[in-house]
Amino acid sequence: MKKALLIILTLIVGFVFGWWFNEKNHRAEGVVEETQNLYLKKDKNDLTIDEKVLDLEDFDTFFYQFMSDQNFQKSRINFPLTFIHFKDDYPGEETDTTFLTKEKWEHSHYFLNETYIPIIYDNYEMKLRNTNERVFVWSGVENGIYVTSFFQRIEGKWFLIKKEDLTT
């Protein structure tokens, strides 16, 4: 009787632990899928990080240097830069696209000379999703300013790829 009880108890404990480990594995798979991280790879039961992630440039570090160093800024713009603005620089419905060359580029300090910066996230965890794109927008309050800068990470480094100035 004791032997049968011990066998049944062992089977129950084994079943519970097996179920628990299986649930834990499924949750871990869900976490990896939810992160939408292109650099995490799951192979059978192993989770690996793509070596490329070690060479990825941090956007905040890049952006500070981009604002403060004129030569660095020019080196990190894909020239000719697509520049969208109102046609004839007059606010209206028609826009025009020009392509700025390195010689015509004027250094932009963005918010470097300010004592504060606004930060808006797209989730309650206050974390940016790990993507290769960032958008910086200057949107004025009752003054018509609306300037958008589009950044993209190319081969691990950040570049300004497009700028729109639809200031009225």
Q: Are residues 16 and 43 in the same domain?
A: yes
Q: Model's pTM, two decimal places?
A: 0.65
Amino acid making up residue 15? F
Indicate if the pLDDT at residue 32 is higher than 60: no
* Residue that is last in its domain, among 16, 32, 52: 52
Q: What is the pLDDT of residues 35-91, one digit of tens each?
A: 555 555 666 666 666 556 667 899 989 999 999 999 999 999 999 999 999 988 788
d(CA 67, CA 160): 12
Residues 71, 124: one domain? yes
Examine the domain organization and report whether 16 and 88 are in the same domain.
no
97 lies in which domain range? 56-165
Amino acid at 25: N
Structural domain count of the chain: 2
Please report which confidence band the pLDDT of residue 12 belongs to, taking 50, 70 and 90 as the band edges: confident
124 lies in the same domain as 80: yes
CATH number at residue 86: 3.10.450.410
Q: At which of 32, 52, 72 does a domain end?
A: 52
Verify that 76 and 37 share a domain, yes or no.
Answer: no
Give the pLDDT score at 79. Answer: 96
Return the sign of the alpha-carbon dihedral for residues 77, 78, 79, 81. Answer: negative
Average pLDDT, the chain: 81
Asked whether residue 77 falls in the same domain as residue 139, the answer is yes
| CA dihedral sign of residues 63, 69, 75, 78 | positive
Domain end, chosen from 35, 52, 69, is at: 52
Same domain, residue pair 31 and 90 = no
Are residue 88 and residue 158 in the same domain, yes or no? Answer: yes
Residues 33, 74, single domain; the answer is no
Together in a domain, 43 and 109? no
User: What's the confidence (pLDDT) of residue 89?
Assistant: 76
Distance CA(160)–CA(150), nearest Å, equals: 6
Residue 41 and residue 62 share a domain: no
Whose CA is closest to 78, among 134, 152, 133? 152
